[in-house]
Amino acid sequence: MAKVVKKTSSVFSQLVPARRCRWCGYELHTGTLFCPVCRGNRLVPARWWPVTLVSLLVFFFSSVALLALFIAYGRTGPAAPGNRSLGTPLRNTSTAEATPAMLHQSPLVFESSLPQPTHTPTPTMTPSPTVTPTNTATPAPTNTPLPTATATPEPTATHTPTRTPTATLVPVPNPNFRADATRIGAGGCTTLHWEVDGVKAVYLDGKARPGRSSEEICPTLSHNYVLKIVLQSGRSATWAVYVEVVGYLPLIVNTHIGNKECDTLYTYDAEISAWAEGGDEWYTYYRDDFDQYLGGPTQGGVVFKIHSHSCSGVPGTIIVHSGDGQKVRIPFWVEPPACCGG
């Protein structure tokens, strides 16, 4: 058997030379019928396997159908020669009753050793009439409609609109707020005037003033003066006058020597206050030729302490710079207290 297979393979290899698989491209050896990669037939492309499968299924079902027809025909084939006479099936008179159609046919002779059955007519049953009970309908009670209650309309309240009285606005009187001069030099003065009657209060820059009055002002810097009037109803109104000051006042520095206390028998402390005026009212404070910064820029003054290690006096210098460029240097002298050296 192995020799036959080998010989068949040799013959097939001679008929079908080596080539690549038509489906996946894998190189097939000589004599290989199916591709080991995609299992496709080298003679028939693997892409035709659905068509082949469908053909095999059609052939299989067709064969099964033909086989079923043959089996059915064999079971219902022609009867044996002694069972049929003149194309009419024989009936056994021992088991089958004669029908009127059979009585009118050509006379046939049937031989049977069994006695012929006697046909006894079956009595006809007359059905008894069925008495149908008569349904006596009970009359339904007649629904008498109830009287409909008539709703009494409620009285409609008549709303009379109330008119809100409109408040009458009292005009604010003009105080004729003014200044004799709105531009003055540094150190100069001017007078503000106003006249108003029948008001609740008058304020000039937040300070209470009479209704008719005037006030002299000497600003060191430009300032906006505001006059506020309060009416009897509580309403208020304001007026303003701007007074411009040209230039600055000379810078002045003031000093004050405050508390002096003895720490020991030969040492003491002293408190010194310094404040400036004039200029643009922004000041920076130094002590002893800028050796010690004291404070600023500020619109106020400064307070500092000195400490003496002996009972002798302490000299010093205070230097002030204003924002407008002015500079002032002022010396000070601190006398020792009576407690020192006593």
CATH 2.60.40 fits 249-334, yes or no: yes
Within 13 Å of residue 75, how many CA atoms lie on the same side as its CB?
Answer: 5
pLDDT band at 106 (very low <50, low <70, confident <90, very high): very low
Q: Which CATH number fits domain 178-246: 3.40.50.280, 2.40.40.20, 2.60.40.10, 3.90.230.10?
A: 2.60.40.10
The span from the first CA to the last CA of the chain, in angstroms, equals 148
Question: What mean pLDDT comes out for the span 283-307?
Answer: 90
Listed range (18-32, 133-147, 215-229) with the worst mean pLDDT: 133-147
Q: Kindly state the DSSP code that residue 290 receives in the 8-state scheme.
A: T
Query: Six-digit token pair at 33?
Result: 């019928």
pLDDT at site 340: 87
Beta-carbon count within 10 A of 267 CB: 15
Would residue 200 be called left, alpha or beta, if left means φ above 0 and alpha means ψ between -120 and 50 degrees? alpha
pLDDT band at 90 (very low <50, low <70, confident <90, very high): very low
pTM of the model: 0.43
Question: What mean pLDDT comes out for the span 125-140?
Answer: 51
* Per-residue model confidence as pLDDT tens digits over 28-60: 776 677 788 777 765 555 556 677 888 899 999
Q: Are 255 and 318 in contact (CB under 8 A)?
A: yes
Listed range (37-46, 147-156, 304-313) with the worst mean pLDDT: 147-156
Listed range (103-117, 250-264, 314-328) with the worst mean pLDDT: 103-117
pLDDT at site 191: 96
Question: What mean pLDDT comes out for the span 214-222?
Answer: 93
pLDDT at site 89: 46
Q: Kindly state the DSSP code that residue 83 receives in the 8-state scheme.
A: G
More confident residue, 260 or 145: 260
Q: What's the rounded Cα separation, in Å, for the pair 210 and 202?
A: 6
Q: Kindly state the DSSP code that residue 247 receives in the 8-state scheme.
A: S
3-state SS assignment for residue 251: strand
* Per-residue model confidence as pLDDT tens digits over 169-209: 778 889 999 999 999 998 899 999 999 999 999 999 999 99
Q: Which of 252, 258, 241 is nearest to 276 (CA)?
A: 252
- Measured CA to CA in angstroms, residue 19 lies from 24, 29, 31, 66 at distances of 12, 7, 10, 42
Query: Six-digit token pair at 256?
Result: 């004050």
Q: What is the mean pLDDT of the chain?
A: 77
Query: Six-digit token pair at 121?
Result: 């007519």
* Per-residue model confidence as pLDDT tens digits over 261-290: 998 888 999 999 999 999 999 999 999 877
160, pLDDT greater than 50:
yes
pLDDT at site 304: 92
**Among 31-35, 155-159, 201-205, 217-221, the range of highest mean pLDDT:** 201-205
pLDDT band at 145 (very low <50, low <70, confident <90, very high): low
Residue ranges, CATH 2.60.40.10, the chain: 178-246
Question: What mean pLDDT comes out for the span 72-97?
Answer: 54
Listed range (97-106, 198-207, 224-233) with the worst mean pLDDT: 97-106
328, pLDDT greater than 70:
yes
